[in-house]
Structure 1
Amino acid sequence: MLRERAIGGNAPVALLLGTLGILGALGCSPQVGDPCKRATDCGLDGVRQCDVSNASRDPDQDGECIVENCSFGVCPSEAVCVKVYASDFVSIACDPDTEDIGSDNCLPNEVCLPEGLCADEIRARTSCRRKCKTDSNCRSNYKCEETGVGGVYVAPDPSDPTRQLSAKICVPR
């Protein structure tokens, strides 16, 4: 009888410690841009995914946690939504100042990028990427680069879709 009381007396303490452990783990969820090898490294809720596309060149390199299919203004505070156009399909020259006014060089499903090339809007991919001010804000093997070139742009603001926005994001070296 005495032994049952001793065990029963410790049960609330064990329950409290277990609850605190779970709450502590939830408070330290991964952020966009954190290293990962698999999706579960980015959280168990399925919001963040592990993008290993850049890690495929180097098996020792980790992927990065991202949020896929974002839109303007919906990323976590450490990130910005960027739209990336598939470079494999960027080949036809266009004039961004006159496209859609007179003779179009781009197909109906394409947009004329500021670099003067048509890009397939259907194949464009959006994802939340880590914001930065300098290289020191990015993890090793990543650098801080300005968007707005090379088919990488901040996702457009629906209230002003023609305004070209800019941000700095961490990208693989």
Structure 2
Amino acid sequence: MFQAGFAKRASFAAAHVALVASLLWGCTPQIGDKCVLSTDCSSSGDRICDTSQPGGYCTTPSNCRPNLCPDKAACVLFAGSVPGCFVDDRDGPAGARTGRAFCMARCENDGDCRSGYVCASPTDPRWGGVIMDNDQTQLTCMVAPTFSIDVDAGDAEAPVCGLGTGSDAGIDASAPSITLEAGTVPPLFPDAGPDGG
């Protein structure tokens, strides 16, 4: 009788633990969920809360890798190039080192996104993202734009990385040549003299 009662209580406890575990599993935060702290996204450290996004945004802690985001999310690179520069400072699709890649919640329509976010292509000029995954048609939950951008405004970028056009254009950056006269080595830079000129 004692063993039967103990077995019944143990079975009930196991069923209770399984029920609680299944409820908790269903409440696991997903990529794109709102958050305040990173622990709102994960207690194991595999997700962080991007507090720069409205209402917080659960994502992965470091630059995502193509096709490897959890929760069927998309890996999107932002700031993948420096405005005005005609070259990337990295080879391949990783873009400029100023860029950051985030796992973004995928969607099919605005109803799939939470309040303050819209379902759109991250490659739209309003966000300027680059989809890193093989599927380039993915839509993601993006911050709803609060302003519009005239994408036909022409080339309004400053040439921060352009070729020199000012007084520095004629500078010779080659190594100085040293000639020996009377057994002495001339100074690397000629002395401007007492009057500086």
Q: TM-score range by the shorter chain?
A: 0.5 to 0.7
Counterpart CA distance in 2 for 1:19 and 1:37 is 29
Q: Which runs of structure 2 are paired with 1:1-173 in the superposition (5 Å)?
A: 10=9, 13-55=12-54, 62-67=55-60, 68-85=62-79, 90-92=82-84, 94=86, 106=87, 109=89, 121-148=96-123, 149=125, 150-155=127-132, 165-173=136-144
Specify the alignment match of 1:99 in structure 2.
none
Q: Check 1:9–1:130 CA distance in 2 against 1; reply closer, same or farther (3 A cut).
A: closer
> What's the CA shift for 1:11?
5.5
> What's the CA shift for 1:75?
1.1
Which amino acid counterpart does residue 132 of structure 2 have in structure 1?
A: A
Residues matched between the structures, number: 140
Q: TM-score, length-normalised on structure 2?
A: 0.57
| Secondary structure of residue in 1 paired with 2:31 | coil
Higher mean C-alpha displacement, 5-14 vs 142-151: 5-14
Which amino acid counterpart does residue 126 of structure 1 have in structure 2?
A: A
Structure 2's unaligned 5+ residue stretches are: 145-197
| Secondary structure of residue in 1 paired with 2:108 | coil
| Secondary structure of residue in 2 paired with 1:31 | coil
| Secondary structure of residue in 2 paired with 1:37 | coil
* C-alpha RMSD of the superposition: 3.4
**Does structure 1 conserve the Cα–Cα contact (< 8 Å) formed by 2:82 and 2:98?**
no
Which amino acid counterpart does residue 131 of structure 2 have in structure 1?
A: V
**Does structure 1 conserve the Cα–Cα contact (< 8 Å) formed by 2:30 and 2:71?**
no
Q: TM-score, length-normalised on structure 1?
A: 0.64
Runs of 4+ in 1 over 3 A off after TM superposition: 5-12
Counterpart CA distance in 1 for 2:122 and 2:47 is 22
Q: Check 1:11–1:125 CA distance in 2 against 1; reply closer, same or farther (3 A cut).
A: same
> What's the CA shift for 1:47?
1.4
| Secondary structure of residue in 2 paired with 1:127 | strand
Relative contact order, higher structure (CA 8 A, sep 6+)? 1
Q: Which has the higher strand share?
A: 1
> What's the CA shift for 1:13?
2.8
Q: Check 1:146–1:9 CA distance in 2 against 1; reply closer, same or farther (3 A cut).
A: closer
> What's the CA shift for 1:78?
3.3
The sequence identity of aligned pairs, in percent, is 29
> What's the CA shift for 1:25?
1.0
